[in-house]
Structure 1
Amino acid sequence: MLCDVQGHIHFLRIKIRKMVSLKGKVQTVLGLIEPSQLGFTMTHEHLTMNYSCCYYPPPSGQEALSDQPIEMKNLFWLKQNPYSHKENLLLCQETDAVREELLRYKAAGGGTIVENTTTGIKRDLKMLKQLSEETGVHVIAGAGFYVDATHSTETRAMSVEQLTEVIVNEVINGADGTNIKCGVIGEIGCSWPLTESENKVLQATAHAQSQLGCPVIIHPGRHSDSPFQIIRIMQEAGADISKTVMSHMDRTIFDEKKLLEFAKLGCYLEYDLFGTEFIFYQMNPEIDMPSDNERILRVRMLIDEGYEDKVVVAHDIHTKNRLKKYGGHGYSHILENIVPKMLVRGISQNKIDKLLIENPKQWLTFK
């Protein structure tokens, strides 16, 4: 009994020592860095993942297109129906193309990618480490669990305490059987309506964050009430909302009054679908996906309303057709195309640096 107690105390001391070492730092797949080293940062991307969990059958009469190779003649169809093409969902097959894109991103001034692939959509930490080593781009990996549809039987059976332990361990010791550590919790997947398993993961995320002082990023359900529900659950569980990003705001809250009401809650507002423009959004047909020009105007509105310290941007690349190899915009789209348009629309370079450098730096630094 005494040996067990002493062993537990020793374990706790090591854990506390590791958590203390994180304070004031940013944790990448290659180790700890100073926040000042981040540079221009995309706060929500994927470099390798499998999104087959979200396959949608194609429109009637177009079934044959699901299995055809990706060719020039079907690129527009693919852009409009990205989740109906089976191969398109396998970003994990495009390591060489992603490596080339990261080099272009770095050449365009990019410094850091927050890689949001969590348990359930084929996180590959060894590959993230390799890509970072080969390109010189800082990569920050995500801990935790994606949406309920990807939760394993084991995950569903875990208590909040057990889920918390898993998440904390992925940050301080390493994930997926490696010693490669995650530097952010998320993207934590939520559906609408929220499921029991997702609710437990949210509570565990809050508990882990309160222990670690780390950044959190959330994937909300596709309903304008979802972000409010998530923040309430996390607040009740002890989360630090000021260190939390709510993703996909561009497809979630459209009403300006409701958006400003949500902004008052204090989390970061992420417009992370730059480059994505659909005629018909398969995952929620009720939504008219905004254009990049509309995203820019919404970001400018938030800045004008005093939220310049709470907005971050990204592309959320997660399918092959978004890569330049397949005629897509790639990871450097914001730096190459959106920033110049923001300047034209009256967003100053100082404000742009807030969105791309200062806000990510504040968010990603451990407290």
Structure 2
Amino acid sequence: MSSLSGKVQTVLGPIHPDQLGYTLTHEHLTMTFNCCYCSPPPHQKDLSNEPIVMRNLFWLKQNPYSNRENLLLNQECEAIKEELLSFKEAGGGSIVENTTTGISRDVKALKIMAEETGVNIISGAGFYVDATHSSETRSMSVEQLTKVLVKEVLEGADGTDIKCGIIGEIGCSWPLTESERKILQSTAEAQSQLGCPVNIHPGRNSDAPFQILRILQEAGGDISKTVMSHLDRTIFDEKKLLEFAELGSYLEFDLFGTEMLNYQFNEAVDMPSDNERIKTLRLLVNEGHEDRIVIAHDIHTKNRLTKYGGHGYSHILLNIVPKMLLRGISQKSIDKILLENPKRWLTFK
């Protein structure tokens, strides 16, 4: 642990936190999402197996999880390398890659991308939601799971010597399953040993983030080093969001670029627009929480790449930042959100 204290661990090795630059805290560069395939209505069944073509793009934007090819982001390494170069040109420095066990993490591919683009890539240790857990994972004790997490950070992941720099995204469902609860407890234990950053994927219910923080705290986790992801699809009531903000975790709004009429995973939710996300960020800044905000796109399907007419990894820097300034969020606050907060979170204690 002493060798990592005060440093950030990338797939190419430890770096000084000042080397990070503008950082997206929740992206995927290579993964599969077959576990979340959603069957379309019978009259659209044929669209499930069609390739991604121009005439399908609007349907795909509204139904991203109903086309099988769209769920195979791991097929687009060359396109993503081009996107990373564009991200760098736009002023980006680092990307936290939150793919964990269960959705085809590929640390070897991440290392190649980092070497060929010069973008810092931080890989995630741990496990995704229960639906992706193997029988072996489910049978492990908290102690055994903790050893897996610590090994992925200190020794390397997936049989390599390529080390993870965060634990997460740790997948949680609603209601939380027993296997997910054990993994949360092991995450807290590993974090207490390593002093490392953690990223959580909460279940799709506004009470889920609160429940998860309680479990982490009770197991000895460090909430001040923990990011709660996907708040822009989870907590919509302003009063409840401000209540959650008081608990001390980082508040991640990571679906920038996702605008759809019906959210396939929870049709009770009206997915906010990017303008509404910016409005929420301004609320949090005005209420004194700018030191705990981080943002990203959570790109995890092909249609969000510029190759397929999507917004790509540079959308926040090229489009969202100017709109944030226009809506009264200062450059100082933006630098906290994209530079200082990620740096503080990612640095090992």
Question: SS of 1:340's equivalent?
Answer: helix
**Aligned counterparts of 1:156 and 1:280: Cα–Cα separation in 2:** 33
Aligned to 1:308: 290
Structure 2 residue 53 is the aligned partner of structure 1 residue 74: no
Query: 1:89 is aligned with what amino acid?
Result: L
Select which of 80, 92, 101 maps to 2:83: 101
Aligned to 2:197: 215
**Aligned counterparts of 1:99 and 1:59: Cα–Cα separation in 2:** 35
Select which of 20, 44, 47 maps to 2:2: 20
Shift of 1:237: 0.1
Aligned to 1:338: 320
Structure 2 residue 65 is the aligned partner of structure 1 residue 83: yes
**Aligned counterparts of 1:59 and 1:246: Cα–Cα separation in 2:** 33
**Aligned counterparts of 1:102 and 1:59: Cα–Cα separation in 2:** 36
Query: How big is each residue's C-alpha offset from its partner over 1:117-139, in whole Å with a ceiling of 9 and x where there is no partner?
Result: 00000000000000000000000
**Aligned counterparts of 1:268 and 1:180: Cα–Cα separation in 2:** 26
Select which of 133, 136, 142 maps to 2:118: 136
Shift of 1:60: 3.2
Structure 2 residue 48 is the aligned partner of structure 1 residue 48: no
Unaligned runs of 5+ in 2: none
Select which of 144, 168, 171 maps to 2:153: 171
Question: SS of 2:279's equivalent?
Answer: helix
Query: How big is each residue's C-alpha offset from its partner over 1:288-320, in whole Å with a ceiling of 9 and x where there is no partner?
Result: 000000000000100000000000000000000
Aligned to 1:286: 268
Query: 1:223 is aligned with what amino acid?
Result: N
Structure 2 residue 333 is the aligned partner of structure 1 residue 356: no
User: For the aligned residues, what is the CA RMSD?
Assistant: 0.4
Select which of 103, 115, 126 maps to 2:108: 126
Question: SS of 2:168's equivalent?
Answer: strand
Aligned to 2:227: 245
Aligned to 1:9: none
Query: How big is each residue's C-alpha offset from its partner over 1:7-30, in whole Å with a ceiling of 9 and x where there is no partner?
Result: xxxxxxxxxxxx110000000000
Structure 2 residue 245 is the aligned partner of structure 1 residue 263: yes
Structure 2 residue 276 is the aligned partner of structure 1 residue 298: no
**Aligned counterparts of 2:330 and 2:346: Cα–Cα separation in 1:** 23
**Aligned counterparts of 1:357 and 1:261: Cα–Cα separation in 2:** 25
Q: Quick one: percent identity of the two aligned structures?
A: 75
Aligned to 2:307: 325
**Aligned counterparts of 1:52 and 1:97: Cα–Cα separation in 2:** 20
Structure 2 residue 163 is the aligned partner of structure 1 residue 181: yes
Aligned to 2:141: 159
Q: Scaled by the length of structure 2, what TM-score is found?
A: 1.00
Question: SS of 1:83's equivalent?
Answer: coil
How many corresponding residue pairs?
A: 349
Query: 1:46 is aligned with what amino acid?
Result: H
**Aligned counterparts of 2:97 and 2:153: Cα–Cα separation in 1:** 14
Question: SS of 2:255's equivalent?
Answer: coil
**Aligned counterparts of 1:25 and 1:95: Cα–Cα separation in 2:** 28
Structure 1 moving runs of 4+ over 2 Å? none
Question: SS of 1:84's equivalent?
Answer: coil
**Aligned counterparts of 1:342 and 1:282: Cα–Cα separation in 2:** 28
Shift of 1:142: 0.0
Shift of 1:272: 0.1
Query: 1:241 is aligned with what amino acid?
Result: I
**Aligned counterparts of 2:307 and 2:293: Cα–Cα separation in 1:** 29
Shift of 1:69: 1.1
**Aligned counterparts of 2:206 and 2:112: Cα–Cα separation in 1:** 38
**Aligned counterparts of 1:299 and 1:60: Cα–Cα separation in 2:** 40
